[in-house]
């Protein structure tokens, strides 16, 4: 009686039990049997040009699909190439499942090709790591990997599958049954803490709400919008949570760009932080010493990290918001909102002028603004770069959760994420326009993925903010050491659009303001993966560079 190969069990369990039909990978001999299983069970394989891109695309897929992202790598260098994306997922709490091939167990400790201690290497960065040694247990191990990735605070996991497992078969009656690992068991916050939080919100004169990637579902986004509108609370949303309350909502502080968030915190008498960490981007929670703090997070250890909270709500965000909403009173806080906007909108005036005024050379904020005019707000905008990410974040508007996302703006500060993140977003939401606002330096990390876009019919638009340098580093050197001591940070004019064209995409070079919108429109109409390479002012820096340079000072 013919059995089923371990590699086919991988494909079957992912598709039929977990409901995952898209996987990101790069081929290799150790994982060929899994690929063969994808043909058998109809799993969509997006094969990339570098394993780093596979891990990053799977990360983005998890954000936009609501399912864990699956990345598969071959042994040795295939595995090590994923590590940057894996660590980025760990720091951003993304449910990423990395499945890796390995040297055959029969050859361990013999000096076999690509033999290395993969599980030991990866263990510090994942929630769970294991090697499956028995073909009959493959579904069980995959289910366990997904369960660990999505439960509690999400995060990446690692599963090693050697050829001794993938290339041997088992009879159906021998296979250990395994259900879906994606079933999440939710728990809510302490009712007494919820009541206390509601009382504080009702009594506050100047409340402000911050929310981040913990707003991980569309239902939580709807509940959050209901909460801020009912209570009249100004809000600043960041990371994957941005857009959960639309940036166009009058209560959103993104009408003042980054200034709205930074100006609001020192004035608030109550800060409500939902699913967001007080990391360096929020000054470790030190920017609002005058305020009481309510914090909600799925991980209770986060509630008083860096800044003690007055009330902590530990639990699932949807359950937390559902418990809080009935206890929060309808409030008209228009006076507080007006005072707040009066304090920060003038601070954004110079950037607003840069966005709305034609310039020669092109200002990066103007480039982003013109792209928005051409593409519209019903799109996913992904930023990749230093100063580039700042100007994209302050110029684009998110009208849905995670639809303006600084892929390079997480705790790892990982450049090269833009094109792979766009890949994952477009694969998950093919009906959406996906735009990457890319620095010219960061574009180079994964530029070959234009070939992947072309082969898999992913018409993504990449707009390169070409300031001819690693801008944040160059300007940081100028600030810290003087303009005459710039070193290793200048790139010159490079025609990145020709890279896209050589790989089968559409490309244009622009260096004048009136060229931007027509070029973007032609790129969208081409139906191809497209690169608009825009030469911008090399002298412009952003407040993010000043903050970054200041953070490096030791005295």
| CATH code of the domain containing 92 | 3.40.50.970
Please say which residue of 145, 174, 203 terminates a domain. 174
- Residues 339, 481, single domain; the answer is no
Around Cβ 528, how many Cβ atoms within 10 Å?
22
- Find tokens 């490096």 and name the residue: 552
- The number of domains in the chain is 3
- Residues 365, 508, single domain; the answer is yes
- Residues 16, 147, single domain; the answer is yes
Q: Which domain holds residue 18?
A: 4-174
- Residues 249, 298, single domain; the answer is yes
Please say which residue of 128, 147, 174 terminates a domain. 174
Q: Which of 59, 123, 64, 141 is nearest to 93 (CA)?
A: 59
63-89 burial, b for 16+ CB within 10 Å, e for fewer? Answer: bbbebbbbbbbbbbebbbbbbbbbbbb
The whole-angstrom separation of Cα 493 and Cα 164 is: 51
133-173 residue pLDDT tens: 999 999 999 999 999 999 999 999 999 999 999 999 999 99
Q: Please state the pTM of the whole predicted model.
A: 0.96
Question: Given this model, what pLDDT does residue 553 score?
Answer: 65
Q: Are 23 and 38 contacting, i.e. CB atoms less than 8 angstroms apart?
A: yes
Decide if 185 is inside a domain: no
Decide if 181 is inside a domain: no
Q: Are 273 and 296 contacting, i.e. CB atoms less than 8 angstroms apart?
A: yes
Decide if 208 is inside a domain: yes
Beta bridge partners of 531: 462, 507
| Residue 97 DSSP SS3 | strand
420-447 burial, b for 16+ CB within 10 Å, e for fewer? Answer: bbbbbbbbbbeeebbbbbbbbbbbbbbb
Q: Are 462 and 501 contacting, i.e. CB atoms less than 8 angstroms apart?
A: no
Please say which residue of 299, 329, 344 terminates a domain. 344
Q: Are 35 and 47 contacting, i.e. CB atoms less than 8 angstroms apart?
A: no
Question: Given this model, what pLDDT does residue 262 score?
Answer: 82
Tokens of 441: 């330096």
Decide if 179 is inside a domain: no
Decide if 186 is inside a domain: no
- Residues 391, 519, single domain; the answer is yes
Is it true that the peptide bond before 361 is cis, omega within 30 degrees of 0? yes
- Residues 307, 442, single domain; the answer is no
Decide if 420 is inside a domain: yes
- Residues 26, 170, single domain; the answer is yes
- Residues 202, 290, single domain; the answer is yes
The whole-angstrom separation of Cα 437 and Cα 387 is: 11
Decide if 284 is inside a domain: yes
Q: Are 393 and 258 contacting, i.e. CB atoms less than 8 angstroms apart?
A: yes
Decide if 180 is inside a domain: no
Around Cβ 490, how many Cβ atoms within 10 Å?
15
- Residues 366, 327, single domain; the answer is no
Tokens of 263: 């100006």
| CATH code of the domain containing 213 | 3.40.50.1220
- Residues 35, 126, single domain; the answer is yes
- Residues 321, 239, single domain; the answer is yes
- Find tokens 């090399």 and name the residue: 538
- Residues 257, 394, single domain; the answer is no
Per-residue model confidence as pLDDT tens for the chain (555 residues): 579 999 999 999 999 999 999 999 999 999 999 999 999 999 999 999 999 999 999 999 999 999 999 999 999 999 999 999 999 999 999 999 999 999 887 767 777 766 788 999 999 999 999 999 999 999 999 999 999 999 999 999 999 999 999 999 999 999 998 999 998 889 999 999 999 999 999 999 999 999 999 998 878 999 999 999 999 999 999 999 999 999 999 999 998 887 887 888 899 999 999 999 998 888 899 989 999 999 999 999 999 999 999 999 999 999 999 999 999 999 999 999 999 999 988 888 899 999 999 999 999 999 999 999 999 999 999 999 999 999 999 999 999 999 999 998 888 999 999 999 999 999 999 999 999 999 999 999 999 999 999 999 999 999 999 999 999 999 999 988 898 999 999 999 999 999 999 999 999 999 999 999 999 999 999 999 999 999 999 999 988 887 777 666 655
Rg (C-alpha) for the chain, rounded Å, is 24
Q: Are 395 and 362 contacting, i.e. CB atoms less than 8 angstroms apart?
A: no
- Find tokens 């191990």 and name the residue: 141
Burial of 514 per CB tally in 10 Å (0-12, 13-18, 19+): exposed
């Amino acid at each position: 009686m013919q059995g089923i190969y371990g590699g086919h069990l991988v494909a079957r369990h992912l598709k039929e039990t977990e409901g995952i039909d898209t996987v990101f990978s790069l081929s290799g001999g150790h994982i060929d049997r899994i690929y063969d299983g994808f043909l058998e069970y109809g799993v969509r394989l997006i094969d990339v040009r570098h394993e780093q891109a596979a891990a990053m695309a799977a990360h983005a897929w998890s954000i936009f699909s609501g399912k864990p992202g699956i990345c598969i790598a071959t042994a040795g260098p295939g595995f090590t190439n994923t590590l940057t994306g894996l660590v980025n997922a760990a720091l951003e709490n993304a449910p990423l499942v990395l499945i890796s091939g390995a040297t055959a167990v029969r050859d361990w400790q013999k000096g076999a090709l690509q033999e290395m201690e993969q599980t030991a290497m990866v263990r510090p960065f994942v929630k769970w790591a294991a090697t499956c040694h028995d073909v009959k247990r493959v579904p069980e191990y995959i289910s366990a990997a997904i369960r660990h990735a999505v439960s509690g605070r999400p995060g990446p996991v690692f599963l090693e599958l050697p050829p001794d497992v993938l290339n041997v078969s088992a009879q159906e009656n021998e296979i250990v049954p395994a259900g879906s690992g994606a079933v999440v068991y939710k728990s809510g916050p302490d009712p007494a803490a919820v009541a206390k939080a509601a009382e504080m919100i009702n009594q506050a004169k100047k409340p402000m709400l911050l929310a981040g990637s913990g707003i991980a579902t569309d239902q939580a986004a709807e509940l959050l919008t209901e909460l801020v509108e009912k209570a009249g609370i100004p809000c600043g949303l960041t990371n994957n949570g941005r857009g959960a309350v639309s940036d166009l909502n009058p209560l959103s502080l993104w009408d003042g760009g980054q200034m709205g968030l930074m100006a609001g915190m020192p004035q608030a008498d109550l800060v409500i932080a939902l699913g967001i960490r007080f990391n360096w981007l929020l000054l470790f929670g030190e920017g609002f010493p005058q305020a009481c703090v309510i914090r909600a997070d799925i991980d209770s250890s986060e509630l008083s990290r860096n800044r003690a909270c007055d009330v902590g709500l530990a639990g699932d965000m949807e359950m937390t918001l559902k418990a809080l909403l009935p206890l929060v009173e309808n409030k008209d806080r228009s006076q507080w909102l007006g005072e707040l906007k009066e304090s920060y909108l003038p601070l954004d005036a110079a950037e607003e002028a840069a966005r709305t005024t034609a310039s020669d050379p092109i200002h990066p904020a103007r480039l982003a603004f013109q792209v928005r005019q051409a593409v519209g707000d019903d799109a996913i905008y992904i930023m990749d770069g230093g100063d580039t990410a700042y100007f994209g974040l302050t110029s684009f508007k998110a009208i849905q959760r995670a639809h303006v996302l600084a892929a390079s703006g997480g705790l790892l500060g990982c450049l090269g994420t833009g094109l792979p993140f766009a890949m994952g977003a477009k694969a998950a939401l093919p009906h959406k326009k996906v735009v990457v606002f890319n620095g010219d330096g960061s574009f180079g990390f994964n530029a070959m993925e234009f070939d992947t876009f072309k082969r898999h019919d992913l018409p993504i638009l990449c707009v390169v903010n070409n300031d001819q340098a690693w801008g944040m580093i160059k300007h940081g050197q100028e600030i810290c050491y003087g303009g005459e001591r710039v070193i290793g940070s200048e790139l010159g004019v490079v025609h990145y659009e020709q890279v896209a064209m050589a790989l089968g995409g559409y490309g244009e070079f622009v260096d004048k303001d009136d060229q931007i919108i027509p070029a973007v429109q032609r790129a969208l109409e081409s139906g191809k993966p497209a690169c608009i390479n825009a030469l911008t002012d090399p002298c412009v820096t952003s407040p993010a560079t000043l903050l970054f340079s200041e953070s490096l000072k030791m005295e």
